[in-house]
Structure 1
């Protein structure tokens, strides 16, 4: 039900309606958009601070430019809520019954005003440069704009894009949305450079963008609607590369988001009255608390450990740690390639890097996982979070980590089934000095299930609970699903410990004593754990059934639906096994 029927936004069906508004009307529209962003995020969670800070720039863009002919490429696109409201999708904020109508990132399947499905940082300038080159070759004249911000300038691809954009012969506008934040506070030399520009009102001689060849413009208040309209009018149709630097306030209009930017970058559902999360805080041990306790104990015992992350301290609950152990903490900014190479260099000099990555972002560092870490066989320790089948947008799926890590030489990828096992694996990984070791951070697993906990993973020896006819191998968090299947049919249950190191002796015995072997993994099937098992057992007289997610991009698809589509429910697996027998 739309409780905001009097909102001006109800009359906005597209940019043509924005162009008819007066400045006071657009300012009222900005207030309405902020109200709706806060209300929807409070109800179901989402990106908050980035969207609140970009409202005026978005309205001004659609007022001045002629979308979709003129094209704006959003970096990350987690700040596109206002854009979506102004391009025919306002009902997804005005009416709670339609909250699920749109995805949280730009999506060309959803609207002609979105040009890419984008959810990771630093890509906008490179994409826009390619578009500009195609436009010129085809004899077109539209404006091509890349909007980059929220720390995306720390990513290597941003520099690569800027390097090429600066020498474009015709129109290309790069808008740097400078709100001084990524997810956490911005870090590095880029921060220093941007601060000099802000402090001098864009007049400092130390201007890296001018040095690269850009026509540089500065807007001191990017949340001033009139200033943004004037700035966009001044750069529209200009026939050379321009960099427009705008200073904005992340979280503008919602005081808690201004005071605590990191906590309000992305929020879970919260109470509008007091800004408190609706879900109660978990007081029990978690995979994060277990990992951090191990790291702290090892540092206190004298180990030269560096905890490293790429601008995602919240994913690993690192805020307390980074204050307690500042000398043992490095945030490299939104730069996963840098994080892996940095960790590799740290290991080369004898330190112990504990690299903390999110599965969906780790793909950006694949070259370093292979070329720098694996090829040099250096003992980097890496914790990988979020490597599960999920209802995330297709840009944020975490189902590719096993394929990326497990198929590279020298990497050992461990997959704990309990928190106790996670602790043992991390302690071993920190002490061993032979190979890079990754640990799949478990989600929703018990603290213990009274298995014998192994303390040395130099050799992988599967843990086997004997049963009959069928053997179920459950990797990591899917061990619990395997346990349910095994209990249902009286099968053998196997904890394989690793996503890529096979216990061939155990597999030979399983093949000799069982008719069917089932593999379960919380990741993509192709190139994954189950296929390694099936390949090894290819010449054995045993049937192998692999279960995981098929090689498709799901997009905001409920997990229960994904399980159903991939035969991952208990009932489906049991039925398949019984049929195969």
Structure 2
């Protein structure tokens, strides 16, 4: 650990005790620490760099934890953690650890576990309500921004706060960005507020009946201290609107032109305080940069996949180049920064398959005016590049962080005859369950949902995708597809967005297990491409029937979606290869292809010459797909009993547990599955 000022900060009291003229120095040291941390560890660096001065000022003025500070989303809470006894995790990340979000188990200064957006004002209203009922006098502060204000629940919170009254301080961090650019009509009036020094009308906060203050330089710590002191102890709700610069401390845009294209392609850094890889201009990758990345030794295209879904105009190289285009300010790439150790590695599954999907859709835009891609503010995470968005024009809509609106919007497009494709993360689809059930499934509108990041992973407890099969698979009328290759994924997308499909479809975008198996040549494309054009002419879903990819006997392995590569390894091991002295078993392997309906004919046929049926799924078992297979066999009235083994996740929240450890915990390894099977034979 260093010997600077930050290493001597063990809690807010130490911030209170600093002479005022040392606060800018503390902020500068924190900013350097964040930049260095980003290179080693990665994370939400841009939003935290913009919040350095505001967080120092909050802990200078208020008395946490007595005064309660709620950070919306809480990905912008790194500085808060530094000032509340956890600086070592950022100064020496190899030996200390913290979560990426606030967590009361970590510190009494963290009010809630938060990772989704827009909830801070509502949570703060609840804290303030209980305080007032008990006759307390502490301050309650909600910190919201970085695009979160566009969430419907944020407006609901503002509405409630105004009527409730009492002390409630809402700090609105206006960095002129969401995760990507801001989208929506509310941002025009906010821009006019900034331009007028906070005096312009209409003022969205006044419209709610809230008091209002404006701080133009939200990165001036002394100005912020003064502003927060003026509202401390206030007896009514007030919004303090601060104008900050996201990513402040990262290279400025003009400096990017000085980085050689070859260095960018190689993932090189300049070795200085910033060391950040930058773009040629405007936080977007130049054509030269993309070309350089395409010709490096890194496998960026997935060309070694067993399936070749076609050449994408907007390929992996473009995605990688845009991810590397990190500068301060209004730059999408600075929202999430990968560690330097990730440089040169092939693109992960969600961005790889995402850009393939966008390329496939883009080729149809000219002839299909109703084909529209929708992203609720997270395009880059899913391979929807800036280059694609610019070319797509009106065929692409970023709704802001508004998943509920996005699903209803998609249903409206579909009802009018359009073909919407809504792309976001499994964890964010949870925010709109009611619209999935009511506006989409109940109305049977032909919208396509691309479910990214579904399944077990080492994610934070706020961003787990382990619940998507349970959620989607239990909504009536929603077709749920689980492709096991890039080709199958694109075929499913082509069918779901064609006129042949008349209902809502969710496609679980393949994960890294599938991509790794494709790149290794382990998954063989068995699609009959001579009839591939017929897919879009088929009214019934072409994947309703389970697909037997290897016919055997005694044991049948039903491996859903991302667990298909595990199924391949299980049947290989059971056959006797690399399996010690055990007698070989020629097991059947089944690719279910979907998890919305039971293929009773296939299950009944398997029962004729199989004693054991095994289901593999990378999601929660309870309420999931495998249990439905068990229930079917238990109630089918078959002449011979079939023993069913279900492998999947336990109903629990997991926090940054490595995927290998989760698989071991849940029995999702070759050794554990084969041992369980052999114990029954």
Give the TM-score range, shorter chain. Answer: over 0.9
C-alpha distance in 2, partners of 1:430/1:125? 38
Correspondence list, 1:472-511, <5 A: 472-489=557-574, 490-511=586-607
- Which residue among 441, 445, 457 is the counterpart of 2:509? 441
| Bigger shift: residues 536-545 or 117-126 | 536-545
Does the 8 A contact of 2:371 with 2:418 survive in 1? yes
1:293 deviation in Å?
A: 2.4
C-alpha distance in 2, partners of 1:423/1:459? 13
Correspondence list, 1:7-156, <5 A: 7-99=4-96, 101-156=97-152
Structure 1 residue 450 corresponds to structure 2 residue 510: no
C-alpha distance in 2, partners of 1:82/1:283? 29
- Residues 513-535 of structure 1 deviation map (CA, whole Å, 9 limit, x = unaligned): 21111111111111111111111
C-alpha distance in 1, partners of 2:604/2:248? 62
Question: Alpha carbons of 1:381 and 1:283: their partners in 2 closer, same or farther (altered >3 Å)?
Answer: closer
Correspondence list, 1:350-429, <5 A: 350-429=417-496
C-alpha distance in 1, partners of 2:188/2:632? 54
Task: Quote the residue 2:552 is aligned against.
Answer: 467
Q: Helix, strand or coil: the match of 1:396?
A: coil
Task: Quote the residue 1:299 is aligned against.
Answer: 365
- Which residue among 217, 228, 239 is the counterpart of 1:232? 228
- Residues 380-401 of structure 1 deviation map (CA, whole Å, 9 limit, x = unaligned): 0111100021111100111111
- Residues 355-380 of structure 1 deviation map (CA, whole Å, 9 limit, x = unaligned): 11210111001111011001100000
Does the 8 A contact of 2:145 with 2:174 survive in 1? yes
Q: Helix, strand or coil: the match of 2:334?
A: coil
Task: Quote the residue 1:345 is aligned against.
Answer: 412
Does the 8 A contact of 1:153 with 1:190 survive in 2? no
Does the 8 A contact of 2:205 with 2:239 survive in 1? yes
Correspondence list, 1:520-531, <5 A: 520-531=616-627
Does the 8 A contact of 2:176 with 2:182 survive in 1? yes
1:23 deviation in Å?
A: 2.6
Task: Quote the residue 1:274 is aligned against.
Answer: none
- Which residue among 542, 552, 555 is the counterpart of 2:652? 552
1:96 deviation in Å?
A: 3.2
- Which residue among 493, 499, 513 is the counterpart of 2:609? 513
Q: Helix, strand or coil: the match of 2:241?
A: strand
- Which residue among 318, 322, 331 is the counterpart of 1:261? 331
Q: Helix, strand or coil: the match of 1:244?
A: strand
C-alpha distance in 2, partners of 1:282/1:403? 28
Does the 8 A contact of 1:107 with 1:114 survive in 2? yes
Does the 8 A contact of 2:181 with 2:330 survive in 1? no
Does the 8 A contact of 1:193 with 1:208 survive in 2? yes
C-alpha distance in 1, partners of 2:41/2:60? 30
Q: Helix, strand or coil: the match of 2:507?
A: strand
Task: Quote the residue 2:297 is aligned against.
Answer: none
Does the 8 A contact of 2:218 with 2:244 survive in 1? yes
Question: Alpha carbons of 1:130 and 1:287: their partners in 2 closer, same or farther (altered >3 Å)?
Answer: same
Does the 8 A contact of 2:543 with 2:594 survive in 1? no
Does the 8 A contact of 1:340 with 1:369 survive in 2? yes
1:282 deviation in Å?
A: 4.0
C-alpha distance in 1, partners of 2:624/2:60? 49
Q: Helix, strand or coil: the match of 1:223?
A: coil
Question: Alpha carbons of 1:459 and 1:481: their partners in 2 closer, same or farther (altered >3 Å)?
Answer: closer
Q: Helix, strand or coil: the match of 2:111?
A: coil
Structure 1 residue 220 corresponds to structure 2 residue 290: no
- Which residue among 368, 388, 392 is the counterpart of 1:321? 388
Structure 1 residue 289 corresponds to structure 2 residue 355: yes
Residues matched between the structures, number: 572
Q: Helix, strand or coil: the match of 1:515?
A: strand
1:303 deviation in Å?
A: 5.3
- Residues 123-172 of structure 1 deviation map (CA, whole Å, 9 limit, x = unaligned): 00000001111111112111111110011111100000000011223101
C-alpha distance in 2, partners of 1:343/1:9? 48
TM-score by structure 2 length? 0.82
Task: Quote the residue 2:375 is aligned against.
Answer: 309
Does the 8 A contact of 1:167 with 1:241 survive in 2? no
Does the 8 A contact of 1:23 with 1:225 survive in 2? no
Question: Alpha carbons of 1:15 and 1:283: their partners in 2 closer, same or farther (altered >3 Å)?
Answer: closer
Does the 8 A contact of 1:389 with 1:399 survive in 2? yes
Does the 8 A contact of 2:426 with 2:468 survive in 1? yes
Q: Helix, strand or coil: the match of 1:545?
A: strand
Task: Quote the residue 2:313 is aligned against.
Answer: none
1:419 deviation in Å?
A: 0.5
Does the 8 A contact of 2:437 with 2:475 survive in 1? yes
Unmatched segments (≥5 aa) in structure 2: 252-325, 575-585
| Bigger shift: residues 561-570 or 257-266 | 257-266
Question: Alpha carbons of 1:382 and 1:283: their partners in 2 closer, same or farther (altered >3 Å)?
Answer: closer
Unmatched segments (≥5 aa) in structure 1: 272-276
Q: Helix, strand or coil: the match of 1:355?
A: strand
Does the 8 A contact of 1:72 with 1:145 survive in 2? yes
C-alpha distance in 1, partners of 2:199/2:399? 28
C-alpha distance in 2, partners of 1:548/1:32? 46
